[in-house]
């Protein structure tokens, strides 16, 4: 199978942007992902700030990826914008702020599709869903996004509020009734730990019309193994360059 066929069969999803080359979930990481023409999907994580602004950060707390401390939800969006979310990765990224979802949408609209993970821990989950959907609609990206979460309740609420936007469940294991769970949620996307991806799962999901994304695949040997599989599914990675090398092999 030639490289272009593998690219179509296993599209790359840049995990938290090109997070192997720039600090995760920052505009720098998203710009880097957009610099690779073969990358058509970007994944990111969203929490709500104290003033109800969707902001892009993975953890519920600030300690790991910024120079701040405490919970994301206890800070105003303007306060989060003043934090350094890049210096921990490399000094050249010092001063990268915690971006808002709107800033990211403005950057990528018309250039990439987006996998928006709604993070658990927001006291008012319906508010999180509503704020995210409002922005997606404002940028007319309804058909360019999939909204995902580990929390089935968030997925159910997203489907209720925005029936036309695709939704998906995230899991690190393979429940025996995963297809039934997805159908109950009216979700058509499964984001699953790459170690769980195999022919039986892919056959089962394909028969049900469910798209699969394997996360998070970073080692060249794992990328090569998955890229050689004949069934279609997305590959989510911190290293789009390693993905590109894998799909070009053979």
Q: Rounded to whole angstroms, how far apart are CA atoms 194 and 185?
A: 22
Collapse the DSSP code of 77 into the 3-class scheme (helix H, G, I; strand E, B; otherwise coil) and give the result: helix
Task: Check if 10 is active-site.
Answer: no
Task: Please name the residue that has the structure tokens 């303007």.
Answer: 78
| Beta carbons within 8 Å of 232's beta carbon, 6+ residues apart | 9, 10, 202, 206
Q: At what angle do helices 125-138 and 152-161 cross, to 10 degrees?
A: 50
End-to-end, the C-alpha distance of the chain in Å comes to 7
Task: Check if 40 is active-site.
Answer: no
Catalytic residue among 10, 15, 40, 47: 15
Catalytic residue among 10, 40, 47, 58: 58
Q: Which residues are catalytic?
A: 15, 58
């Amino acid at each position: 199978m030639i490289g272009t066929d593998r690219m179509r069969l296993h599209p790359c999803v840049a995990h938290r942007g090109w997070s192997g080359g720039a600090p995760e979930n920052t505009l720098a990481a998203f710009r880097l992902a957009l610099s690779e023409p073969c990358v058509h999907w970007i994944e990111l994580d969203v929490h709500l700030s104290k003033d109800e602004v969707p902001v892009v950060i993975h953890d519920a707390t600030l300690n790991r990826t910024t120079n701040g401390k405490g919970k994301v939800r206890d800070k105003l969006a303007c306060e989060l914008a003043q934090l350094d979310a890049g210096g921990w990765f490399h000094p050249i990224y010092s001063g990268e702020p915690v971006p808002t979802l709107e800033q990211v949408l403005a950057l990528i609209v018309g250039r990439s599709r987006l996998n928006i993970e709604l993070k658990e821990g927001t006291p008012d989950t319906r508010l999180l869903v509503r704020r995210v959907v409002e922005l997606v609609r404002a940028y007319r990206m309804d058909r360019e996004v999939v909204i995902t979460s580990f929390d089935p309740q968030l997925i159910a609420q997203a489907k209720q509020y925005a029936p036309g936007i695709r939704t998906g469940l995230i899991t690190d294991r393979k429940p025996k009734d995963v297809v039934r769970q997805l159908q109950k949620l009216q979700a058509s996307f499964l984001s699953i730990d790459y170690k769980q991806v195999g022919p039986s799962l892919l056959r089962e999901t394909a028969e049900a019309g469910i798209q699969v994304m394997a996360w998070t695949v970073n080692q060249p040997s794992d990328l090569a193994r998955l890229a050689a599989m004949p069934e279609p599914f997305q590959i989510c990675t911190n290293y789009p360059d390693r993905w590109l090398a894998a799909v070009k092999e053979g």
